[in-house]
Amino acid sequence: MFNYSQKRIAIAFATFSFMLFAFSLVQDFSLLPYRNYPHNYVQMNQLINFTVAFSVSAMTVYLLISLNHYTAIQLIQSNNQLKKLNDELDRFVYSTSHDLRAPLLSVLGLLKLAEGNVDEKEMNRYHRMMESRLSSLDKFIKDITDYSRNNRLQIVNENVNLFSLTTEIWESLQYSADAQDIKFINDLPSNLIVANDGTRLRVVLSNLISNAIRYHDHRKENKYVKVYHNVTDSSFTLHVEDNGQGIAPELHSKIFEMFYRGNESSQGSGLGLHIVKETLARLSGTIQLCSTPRQGSTFSISVPK
């Protein structure tokens, strides 16, 4: 009945009970007048007492073992989560210190070059390069914000029109330099409404669609990004398909790791797909990848209804 901090009181009560029992064995003492019960009556009461005491003791021991087991599982899970957070924090500090400074150093270098006597054409090229580096920095900061919000904010269930959501995401991305000549195919029904966290679904779809744009294949003429779905009684699945560069099979299990980049020339933050995976985990969802190099990729996200 007492917790660990009150263990001295618990031990005192147990000791007092044992002393009373021992005293009753060695001394013929009773607060009540002596009554001469029949032998059969005494045996029956002893059997009842033993049965009740054994059952209660067994239930108590089982409860304590169950509580200890549950506490041990919780402790193991907490330690694993803490280890994961520590590992991510180490990588986060190392990578952010590089990824935040690199664009700034590039802009500073371009500003130094622009201080010299350069013609207008060269100056415009410097401006485009600075804009590109600052855009990368802005995207990286946005990814960090999304990652932080996903771990901190509670899940909000709301009615989400997926057709409107994906169309809105594409409209915000279609004027970027990489999105030129890419056809967007939205095969979602205009009345497809699901009850889920709209903010987190936006983060997931934004990262998948922007990745499909960023890693398209320049050599192909009919470049496209396609979104379609499947619905079952218990879940719905969204597919984001493209005919871009594709991903090598040996990288399929690595691309969801924090700060992982497929190659040194990648302009991404290395956080996008990790954020997608962690966000879906908060929604009890999953993500699967089907991809072939030089043919394209299809990311499929499944979320319970």
Those residues with Cβ within 8 angstroms of residue 22's Cβ, 6 or more apart along the chain or in another chain: none
CATH number at residue 299: 3.30.565.10
pLDDT in tens, 160-198: 899 999 999 898 888 877 888 899 999 999 888 888 888
From first to last of its 305 residues, what are the pLDDT tens digits of the chain?
Answer: 667 788 899 899 999 999 988 888 888 777 777 788 888 998 999 999 999 999 999 999 999 899 989 999 999 999 988 887 787 777 666 666 666 676 777 788 878 777 776 777 888 887 878 877 777 777 777 767 776 666 677 888 889 899 999 999 898 888 877 888 899 999 999 888 888 888 889 889 988 998 899 888 888 889 999 999 988 777 789 999 999 999 988 888 888 887 676 655 555 667 788 888 988 988 889 999 999 998 999 999 998 87
Question: Would you say residue 190 lies in a domain?
Answer: yes
Question: Would you say residue 142 lies in a domain?
Answer: no
Alpha helix segments (H runs only) across the chain? 7-26, 39-114, 120-152, 162-173, 198-214, 272-282
Question: Would you say residue 27 lies in a domain?
Answer: no
Domain count for the chain: 1
Question: Would you say residue 121 lies in a domain?
Answer: no
Which residue in 57, 95, 18, 115 sits closest to 123, CA to CA?
Answer: 115
Q: Are 22 and 14 in contact (CB under 8 A)?
A: no
pLDDT in tens, 240-254: 999 999 998 888 888
Enclosing domain of residue 302? 157-305
The pTM (predicted TM-score) of the whole model is 0.60
Q: Which two tokens stand for residue 13?
A: 């009560």
- Cβ atoms within 10 Å of 299's Cβ, excluding its own: 24
Q: Are 305 and 159 in contact (CB under 8 A)?
A: no
Question: Would you say residue 193 lies in a domain?
Answer: yes
Those residues with Cβ within 8 angstroms of residue 302's Cβ, 6 or more apart along the chain or in another chain: 235, 236, 237, 285, 286, 287, 288
- DSSP letter at 177? G
How far apart (Å, rounded) are the C-alpha atoms in residues 99 and 89? Answer: 15
Question: Would you say residue 110 lies in a domain?
Answer: no
SS3 238: strand
Residue type at 4 in one-letter notation? Y
Question: Would you say residue 177 lies in a domain?
Answer: yes
Question: Would you say residue 211 lies in a domain?
Answer: yes
Name the residue with tokens 């990814």. Answer: 143
